[in-house]
Amino acid sequence: MQFKLTPQIAKNIKKWIANGENLQLTQLLEDVHFADIAEILEEISFSDAIYIIKLLDSEKTADILAELDDDTREKVLNGLSSKEIAEEIDELDTDDAADIISELPDQQKEEVIAQLEDVEHAKDIVELLRHDEDTAGGLMGKELVKVNENWTNITCVKEMRRQAANVDKVHTIYVVDDNDILKGRLSLKSLLTTPATTPVKEIYNHQITSVSVTENDEEVARIMQKYDLFVIPVIDEMGRLTGQITIDDIVDIIKDEAEKDYQMAAGLVEDVEADDTIFELVKGRLPWLVLGLFGGLAAASIMSGFDEALKKFPILFMFTPLIAAMAGNVGVQSSAIIVQGLANDNIKGSTWDRLLKEVGLSLVNGTILSLLVMAYGTIFNMEFLTSITIAISLLIVIIIAALIGTFVPLILHKRGIDPALATGPFITTINDIFGIFIYFYIAKLILPF
């Protein structure tokens, strides 16, 4: 049922394009889903991709274009004229159409819009382009089925028949009043199970969750998830039904959100992919590494302040990577739990409770780890005073690292900054510096140097 691009098929496609064997190509791709063709185009050269786009019917290629990843699409669109792009846009739903047009250079935008055939469609797209990308207005499409509350059941069916021609799949039938104000929804069930002359007013459901056109996209995602909605209507400032958002767009937002947090935790400046250019990868990776380097240099400076220790207890310096690693790991664990808790909105209780809990938890973990260090010291014949010094310092470093890891994201969140910033290299670097300072400071208190 699903198409799989084998090396043999890839080879054939290449050959057919080179020889201009269009019949073979169209026959192969005829029954392949547009999402699969999009995957093929991402594997082959851009000139071959453009060849296929020009060859196939624009009804199909429009959907393929919408499915491509941004980089590939940009390059493919570069190979098409404004007229050709307009033909593709004519076939697309308004939300995808607006997304693609918004990626074009400013001048080309106007050229493409001017060449659209369907004026209503063009008007809708222009309206959508006015909204910010990360708002409900930027996500919504104009395609929907709506009925007037003053109609009867049979009028609805007639009207829906007309409207459905422009809508791929009907998920919800919206009910509006004469001023287009959203009043509720009509279930297919009621439509099927009531007599043809029943007025819509008597059978529609008044309870409907909607979002404002200016609502933030993450909030839309939260609402749709919470209420298990497949579609959500979007209303304007006056309460008029202006579009609808479908869950497939929300799935993309949820994935992007999760990836953003993951990348921050891994020390990547957003949105680096394995197949980006080296220059893009350097831009995505270097900033956090420079931060880490400054942290390491700061740690080196701190240590050079304890040069007395170097003469009398050089063994302490063998354990600095251990102290730094534990401070870093504990900090990342603590901050990750807070970041996830904030994202899922399940952090309850006061800050004070949280502090006590982290201290309790770190005491347990820290004690176990310190005992392991003592065991290592015994096995390798370290001086008792030295190994107990390292063990005690480790315990205290762990507690403080956990507290820093817990509170930095909480504080960022309170100030309206994305707490995910405080995971990964950020918290590791802070904790490295604090950890090493605390380690030597405590050692100095216990050991005679």
Among 304, 350, 416, 448, binds a second copy (CB under 8 A): 304
Give, as ranges, the residues between 370 and 429 that touch a second copy (CB under 8 A): 372-373, 376, 380, 423-425, 428-429
Residue 209 CB, nearest approach to a second copy (Å): 6
- Per rule CB under 8 A, is residue 295 in the interface with a second copy? yes
Among 27, 45, 47, 187, binds a second copy (CB under 8 A): 187
Residue 164 CB, nearest approach to a second copy (Å): 4
Residue 167 CB, nearest approach to a second copy (Å): 8
Give, as ranges, the residues between 210 and 269 that touch a second copy (CB under 8 A): 210, 223, 225-228, 230, 246-248, 250-251, 254-255, 258-259, 261-263, 265-268
Among 154, 290, 411, 417, binds a second copy (CB under 8 A): 290
DSSP state of 196: T
Among 59, 120, 132, 273, binds a second copy (CB under 8 A): 273
DSSP-derived secondary structure for 134-191: TBHHHH-BS--EEEETTSBHHHHHHHHHHHHTT-S----EEEE-TT-BEEEEE-HHHH
* Distance from C-alpha of 228 to C-alpha of 230, rounded to nearest angstrom: 7
**Residue 132 φ/ψ region, left for φ over 0, alpha for ψ in the -120 to 50 degree band, beta for the rest:** beta
Q: Identify which of residues 119 and 192 has a Cβ nearer to a second copy in the complex.
A: 192
Residue 252 CB, nearest approach to a second copy (Å): 8
- In DSSP terms, 135 is beta-bridged to 216
Give, as ranges, the residues between 338 and 367 that touch a second copy (CB under 8 A): 338, 340-341, 346-349, 354, 357, 360-361, 364-365
- Per rule CB under 8 A, is residue 153 in the interface with a second copy? no
Among 209, 384, 414, 445, binds a second copy (CB under 8 A): 209
| HSE-CB of 132 using CA atoms within 13 angstroms | 9
Among 35, 154, 196, 385, binds a second copy (CB under 8 A): 35
Say if residues 15 and 4 touch (Cβ distance below 8 Å).
Answer: no
Residue 300 CB, nearest approach to a second copy (Å): 4
Stretch that binds a second copy, among 44-52, 98-106, 126-134, 324-332 (CB under 8 A): 324-332
Among 77, 303, 391, 443, binds a second copy (CB under 8 A): 303
Closest CA relative to residue 325, chosen from 296, 302, 303, 298: 296
Closest CA relative to residue 245, chosen from 128, 77, 375: 128
| HSE-CB of 319 using CA atoms within 13 angstroms | 29
Q: Identify which of residues 23 and 227 has a Cβ nearer to a second copy in the complex.
A: 227
Say if residues 431 and 405 touch (Cβ distance below 8 Å).
Answer: yes
* Distance from C-alpha of 443 to C-alpha of 386, rounded to nearest angstrom: 8
Task: Give residues with Cβ within 8 angstroms of 112, minimum separation 6.
Answer: 82, 85, 86, 89, 101, 104
- Per rule CB under 8 A, is residue 181 in the interface with a second copy? no
Token readout for 351 is 């800050």
